[in-house]
Amino acid sequence: MKKSEPMSESYYYILLCLAKGANHGYGIMQMTEKLSGGDVIIGSGTMYGATSNMMKKGWIREIMSEGSGLERRRQYQLTESGREALRAEIQRLRRMLENAEGV
C-alpha cells in the first residue's frame, strides 16, 4: 500500500464524525466542535471544499436522508475506502504519539 499523506485536521474530523453513520454538513460541524472542545471549527468554505475533494477520492458519498419535503437533506456517508483512510490516519497518529512517548 502506498504511503498516505497526512490528512488536514478538517478532513480527519469530517471522516471521524461520519464513522458512526451518515450526517449532514451542519451536523458534522457541530459534532467536530463538540469532539474537539471548540478547538476545531469547520467553516462553510472549508466544508464544501473538503467534502468535494473527499467525494472525488471516493472516501465519502452523498446520500439523501429519509423523509419528504424539507425534511429531506443532503447527507454524507463514509465509504469503505474512506473508512480505510481514516484507519490509516489514526494508525499514523498513534505511531507518532508512541514515538513521542518513547523519546
- Contact residues for another protein, defined by CB under 8 A: 8-10, 24-26, 29, 41-52, 62, 74
Radius of gyration for the chain, computed over Cα atoms and rounded to the nearest angstrom: 15
CB-nearer residue toward another protein: 27 or 90: 27
Nearer to another protein, 1 or 14 (CB): 14
Smaller CB distance to another protein: residue 50 or 103? 50
Q: Output 8 or 81, the one with its CB closest to another protein.
A: 8
Least separation in angstroms between CB 103 and another protein: 27
Smallest distance from another protein to CB 9, Å: 6
Where b means 16+ CB within 10 Å and e means fewer, 43-61 reads eeebbeebbeebeeeebbe
Displacement of CA 91 from its chain's centroid (Å)? 15
CA distances from 103 to 5, 89, 98, 100 (A): 24, 22, 9, 5
Min CB(79)–another protein separation in Å: 17
Give the bridge partners for 77, in sequence order.
61
CB of 86 vs another protein, minimal distance in Å: 17
